[in-house]
């Protein structure tokens, strides 16, 4: 298992880095719009109406963005949890913990793909 994890490490790091990018830029912007701009009246509440949101989410580019917003932070979280486990004396358990965490991220990503494809 350790050998497989070492071979997949570059792919995992790419997904982790993309998750950081999405989490830092896109989700932060979304929170600023939904959490601050709409309640304070800087942005009209009609901008987030169901028809507009569904129109964005049903477009191909909107689906890709939505998929990225859902799936990539899962990989970031899985990688952080793995290294948190290693930092707290779990290096000997890494061969068990890493596949579980990355398996959860894989299942979540597949569920996100299915959900976004069904829009």
Is the pLDDT at 119 greater than 90? The verdict is no
Task: Please give the tally of structural domains in the chain.
Answer: 1
- For residue 115, the model assigns a pLDDT of 92
Is the pLDDT at 2 greater than 80? The verdict is no
Domain that holds residue 22: 2-117
Q: Is the pTM of this model over 0.95?
A: no
- For residue 53, the model assigns a pLDDT of 86
Helix spans in 22-93 (H): 27-31, 38-40, 50-58, 60-87
CATH of the domain at 14: 1.20.1300.10
Distance CA(40)–CA(59), nearest Å, equals 29
- For residue 113, the model assigns a pLDDT of 93
Asked if 88 contacts 38 with a C-beta cutoff of 8 angstroms, the reply is no
Is the pLDDT at 1 greater than 90? The verdict is no
- For residue 56, the model assigns a pLDDT of 86
User: Which DSSP helix (H) or strand (E) runs through 6?
Assistant: helix 2-21
Per-residue pLDDT tens digits for 84-115: 999 998 788 888 898 999 999 999 999 999 99
Per-residue pLDDT tens digits for 60-81: 999 998 898 889 899 989 989 9
Give the CA angle between residues 115, 116, 117 to the nearest 5°: 90
Per-residue pLDDT tens digits for 3-55: 777 788 888 888 888 888 888 888 888 889 889 998 999 988 888 889 988 99
């Amino acid at each position: 298992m350790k050998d497989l994890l070492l071979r997949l490490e570059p792919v995992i790091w790419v997904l982790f880095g993309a998750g950081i990018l999405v989490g830092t830029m896109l989700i932060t912007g979304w929170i600023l719009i939904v959490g601050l701009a709409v309640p304070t009246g800087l942005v009209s509440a009609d901008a987030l109406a169901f028809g507009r949101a569904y129109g964005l989410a049903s477009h191909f580019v909107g689906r890709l963005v939505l998929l990225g917003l859902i799936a990539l932070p899962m990989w970031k979280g899985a990688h952080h949890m793995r290294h948190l486990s290693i930092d707290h004396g779990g290096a000997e358990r890494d061969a068990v913990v890493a596949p579980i965490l990355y398996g959860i991220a894989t299942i979540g990503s597949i569920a996100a793909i299915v959900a976004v494809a069904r829009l």
